[in-house]
């Protein structure tokens, strides 16, 4: 559709140029050159042959955008023939000017320079071969200046068009980059929320499962212990619901959510106590002078310990014990969780989303994570978080 519209516009332009050129040709005054001081030898007046050549020179204008350089050469041929036959004295045809402009505005620099050079050479040859002689150099210089001006106008338009296309392309690239950044940010946010939900749900549900199993085993023999286990399950369930409500509430934009601080290293004593009550005797050891940790490192350290203890609760087996060691140094935070269970190998066979989440958290903080069974038995999870500027 666009090509048909362009062809139609060029065809209309060709008709207009042909009409203008024909009018100028038929109304030219043969005696005018002598009045301007030109020496005329055999200057011919308008006739059918000359009019036909004028119209032929205008035909290539209809394809000026598809074949501009070939069309320029096709227009130069009848224009040169007109000058050599004595119908004029110079390259004054409007069709040649239109085609030269088209070459300059639609082709590269090499083709545009070639078109300008061909036009100047053909003009010089036509002027020398024709019967018209002039006593003033200004006529040739004026024609050359007109050709150069038309060519320069076409080049300026091409450069401006290329500049606008570059601006549009740059804007499109920026828009695509912005869209990619937005998608990446959304994916990262979804991943972060998924990690938070998993850490909260997996930990509390694991604790509740272990306590429920213990309550089922002692329900008939020791109702008091079963009642304590059920009370702990209720408390753990309420705590899980509260943390999930806080996380999901962040996603709600239509209601204000009262947010509390994220858990951190300061909350490890409560976590250790909860795991002990759930059936995994756990001891906490803190070494070094505690410093204010970055929020990301503080949360990642807590979630690492939480997930490691949850895995120990699931896989370490009955009678296992766990030790959490937090070592504060000027340049790093060293967190280690180990147990003396007998199911360390089983823990590494099919790592779940929890261990993947730990790896992501530690990697985001620039830390180093090591997970695996201990040579003397049991399982160990160790994360080392770098601290910048000793803070």
CATH code for position 327 = 3.30.565.10
Pairing of strands 322-328, 282-287: parallel
Is 168 inside any structural domain? no
Give the pair of three-digit tokens for residue 278: 């759930």
* Per-residue pLDDT reduced to its tens digit, 175-232: 888 878 777 777 776 666 666 666 666 666 777 777 777 777 777 777 777 777 777 7
Query: Could you tell me where the DSSP H helices lie in 66-137?
Result: 68-85, 94-106, 109-129
Question: Higher pLDDT residue, 245 or 346?
Answer: 245
Q: Is the pLDDT of residue 62 over 50?
A: yes
- Domain count within the chain: 2
Per-residue pLDDT at 128 = 67
Is 224 inside any structural domain? no
Give the pair of three-digit tokens for residue 4: 């048909």
Q: Of 78, 101, 136, which residue is a domain's last?
A: 136
Q: Is the pLDDT of residue 39 over 70?
A: no
Is 170 inside any structural domain? no
Per-residue pLDDT at 348 = 45
Handedness of CA 350, 352, 358, 359 (dihedral sign): positive
Cβ atoms within 10 Å, residue 8: 11
What share of the chain in percent tops pLDDT 90?
9
Give the pair of three-digit tokens for residue 367: 């830390």
Q: Is the pLDDT of residue 2 over 60?
A: no
Per-residue pLDDT at 351 = 47
Beta-bridge partner residues of 326: 286, 335
Tell me the range of 126-135, 166-175, 209-218 where mean pLDDT is highest.
166-175
Per-residue pLDDT at 26 = 75
Instruction: Over range 166-181, report the average pLDDT.
Output: 84
Is 301 inside any structural domain? yes
Give the pair of three-digit tokens for residue 215: 């309550």
Q: Which domain holds residue 353?
A: 264-391
What are the strands, taking DSSP E only, across 151-226? none
Tell me the range of 126-130, 186-190, 369-373 where mean pLDDT is highest.
369-373
Q: Of 136, 161, 181, which residue is a domain's last?
A: 136
| C-alpha dist (Å) from residue 336 to 281, 284, 368, 381 | 16, 10, 12, 6
DSSP 8-state symbol, 352: -
Contact between residue 343 and residue 301 where contact means Cβ atoms under 8 Å apart: no
The whole-model pTM stands at 0.45
Q: How far apart are CA 379 and CA 342, in angstroms?
A: 8
Q: Of 116, 136, 156, which residue is a domain's last?
A: 136
Is 233 inside any structural domain? no
The confidence band for 137, taking pLDDT boundaries of 50, 70 and 90, is low
Q: How far apart are CA 381 and CA 304, in angstroms?
A: 8
**Of the candidates 279, 273, 276, which has an alpha carbon nearest to the alpha carbon of residue 212?**
279
DSSP string covering 283-307: EEEEES---PPPHHHHHHHHHHHHH
Instruction: Over range 145-157, report the average pLDDT.
Output: 84
Integer distance in angstroms from the first to the last C-alpha of the chain? 67
Handedness of CA 262, 266, 268, 269 (dihedral sign): negative
Is 191 inside any structural domain? no
Per-residue pLDDT at 250 = 53
Is 257 inside any structural domain? no
* Per-residue pLDDT reduced to its tens digit, 301-345: 998 998 888 888 888 877 889 999 999 988 899 999 999 887 544
Pairing of strands 39-40, 379-386: unpaired
Is 187 inside any structural domain? no
Q: What are phi and psi of 179, to 5 degrees?
A: -65, -40
Question: Higher pLDDT residue, 289 or 127?
Answer: 289
Query: Could you tell me where the DSSP H helices lie in 219-265?
Result: 223-250
Per-residue pLDDT at 346 = 45
Over the Cα atoms of the chain, what is R_g?
A: 44
Per-residue pLDDT at 132 = 56
Q: Is the pLDDT of residue 114 over 70?
A: yes
| C-alpha dist (Å) from residue 75 to 37, 259, 330, 383 | 29, 79, 84, 81
Average pLDDT, the chain: 76
DSSP 8-state symbol, 59: G
**Of the candidates 240, 248, 293, 241, which has an alpha carbon nearest to the alpha carbon of residue 266?**
293
Q: Is the pLDDT of residue 143 over 50?
A: yes
What share of the chain in percent tops pLDDT 70?
74
Q: How far apart are CA 331 and CA 386, in angstroms?
A: 6
Per-residue pLDDT at 345 = 43
**Of the candidates 160, 156, 75, 157, which has an alpha carbon nearest to the alpha carbon of residue 118?**
75
Per-residue pLDDT at 203 = 67
Give the pair of three-digit tokens for residue 21: 């050129």
Contact between residue 284 and residue 302 where contact means Cβ atoms under 8 Å apart: no
């Amino acid at each position: 559709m666009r090509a048909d519209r362009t062809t139609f516009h060029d065809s209309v332009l060709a008709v207009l140029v042909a009409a203008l050129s024909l009018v100028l040709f038929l109304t030219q005054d043969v005696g005018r050159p002598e009045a301007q001081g030109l020496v005329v030898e055999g200057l011919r007046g308008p006739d059918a042959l000359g009019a036909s050549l004028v119209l032929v020179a205008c035909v290539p204008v209809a394809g000026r955008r598809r074949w501009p350089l070939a069309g320029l050469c096709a227009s130069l041929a009848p224009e040169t023939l007109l000058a050599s036959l004595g119908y004029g004295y110079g390259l004054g045809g409007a069709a040649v000017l239109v085609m030269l402009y088209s070459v300059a505005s639609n082709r590269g620099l090499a083709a545009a320079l070639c078109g300008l050079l061909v036009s100047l050479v053909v003009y010089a040859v036509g002027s020398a071969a024709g019967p018209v002689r002039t006593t003033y150099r200004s006529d040739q210089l004026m024609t050359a200046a007109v050709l150069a001006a038309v060519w320069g106008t076409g080049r300026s338009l091409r450069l401006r068009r290329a500049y606008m296309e570059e601006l549009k392309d740059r804007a499109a690239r920026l828009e695509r980059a912005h869209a990619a950044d937005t998608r990446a940010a959304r994916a990262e946010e979804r991943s972060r929320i998924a990690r938070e939900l998993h850490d909260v749900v997996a930990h509390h549900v694991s604790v509740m499962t272990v306590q429920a199993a213990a309550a089922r085993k002692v329900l008939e023999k020791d109702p008091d212990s079963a009642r304590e286990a059920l009370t702990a399950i209720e408390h753990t369930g309420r705590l899980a619901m509260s943390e999930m409500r806080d996380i999901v509430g962040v996603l709600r934009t239509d209601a204000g959510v009262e947010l509390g601080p994220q858990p951190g290293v300061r909350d490890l004593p409560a976590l250790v106590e909860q795991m002990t009550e759930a059936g995994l005797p756990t001891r906490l050891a803190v070494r070094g002078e505690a410093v204010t940790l970055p929020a990301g490192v503080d949360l990642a350290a807590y979630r690492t310990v939480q997930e490691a203890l949850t895995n120990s609760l699931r896989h370490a087996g009955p009678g296992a014990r766990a030790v959490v060691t937090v070592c504060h140094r000027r340049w790093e935070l060293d967190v280690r969780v180990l147990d003396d269970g007998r199911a360390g190998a089983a823990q590494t066979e099919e790592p779940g989303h929890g261990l993947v989440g730990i790896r992501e958290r530690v990697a985001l903080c620039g830390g180093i994570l090591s997970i695996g069974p201990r040579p003397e038995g049991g399982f160990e999870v160790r994360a080392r978080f770098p601290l910048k500027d000793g803070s």
